[in-house]
Structure 1
């Protein structure tokens, strides 16, 4: 999940077996409780995002849904760039056991969100909160 203004990202593990209800719960738990309801969502064309439940949610809370183009993930280029960055970060830090990737997500999310962007010269965290948090690296 990526905020288009601040570029803040939330790295959320999701299983292929998740239902539409599971994805709504993830949205509520990882996005809405921290940022409120979005004005616009740009999901891919996964059937879960086209379900009656998602239609009702978007209608009830006046959320505009702009579906990305099928078989053309570049139509949501911002999220695709974040996904590529996350993949590179995971490749860098995963050792021999690839199952550890999920455990790394919180630290990688913090690193991503506290790194300045050339377009703004600020980190997503600075844009959202006003300053970067104190990190473990700064405590040493």
Structure 2
């Protein structure tokens, strides 16, 4: 008999978080802080001026906890913006487990890494040649990511989370 170790989780129970960047400065912003829900692939991200723990704490509280509830676990790399006393205190306050990926096994944060690659891919195709307008394009990039069909979940994150497809009232969307 084959024994497997299955983890039962619901939407928004496990989030992966990571920083992207630094990028060429765009309206004062140099980084993107990304969070991906491990069940739905729903993605949240913000442009930031720094990649420090203060930004992470505010983002998790304001963009994740108050909108989707407190997760069971947060997965991150071992960067100082995620591994510090203030971050640990926030997670302890809400009884959230912190899973830290190891440099020799980064696949643990695979979904957030895939999200990062997709954000970068979409941004590269939508920004101007100077690449200094990426901060303006970030929300449209997240929208495109959420609308795209994901083979592993059999639908788009938008449809999985909201239980209906997005309706477009225009024939073609172009750059």
TM over 0.5: same fold? yes
Matches within 5 A, 1:40-119: 40-70=73-103, 72-119=105-152
Cα distance, 1:48 vs structure 2: 1.8
- Mean CA deviation greater in 66-75 or 94-103: 66-75
Aligned pair partner of 1:39 in 41, 47, 72: 72
Determine the C-alpha separation between the residues in 1 that align with 2:36 and 2:104.
20
SS at match of 2:46: coil
Moved more, 100-109 or 72-81: 72-81
What is the CA distance between 1:72 and its match in structure 2? 4.9
Indicate how the Cα distance of structure 1 residues 71 and 14 shifts in structure 2: closer, same or farther if over 3 A, else same.
Answer: farther
Q: Displacement of 1:21 after TM fit?
A: 2.2
Partner SS for 1:13: strand
Distance in 1 (CA, whole Å) between partners of 2:53 and 2:162 is 31
What is residue 139 of structure 1 aligned with on the other side? 169
CA distance in 2, matches of 1:94, 1:18: 22
Higher helix share: 1
Cα drift, residue 2 of structure 1? 0.3
Residues 71-80 or 89-98, more deviating: 71-80
What do residues 6-60 of structure 1 show as CA deviations (whole Å, max 9, x unaligned)?
0111122233x34322210011222122211111100111112111111111111
Q: Which runs of 5+ in 1 are unaligned?
A: none
Q: Which residue of 2 aligns with 1:4?
A: 38
Write the distance in 2 (CA, Å) between the matches of 1:46 and 1:128. Answer: 30
Residue-pair matches, total: 136
What secondary structure, in the 3-state scheme, does the structure 1 residue paired with 2:78 have? coil
In 1, Cα distance between equivalents of 2:57 and 2:166: 29
Please give the TM-score of this superposition, normalised by the length of structure 1: 0.88
Number of the residue aligned with 2:61:
28
Which fold has the larger relative contact order, with Cα–Cα distance below 8 Å and residues 6 or more apart in sequence? 1
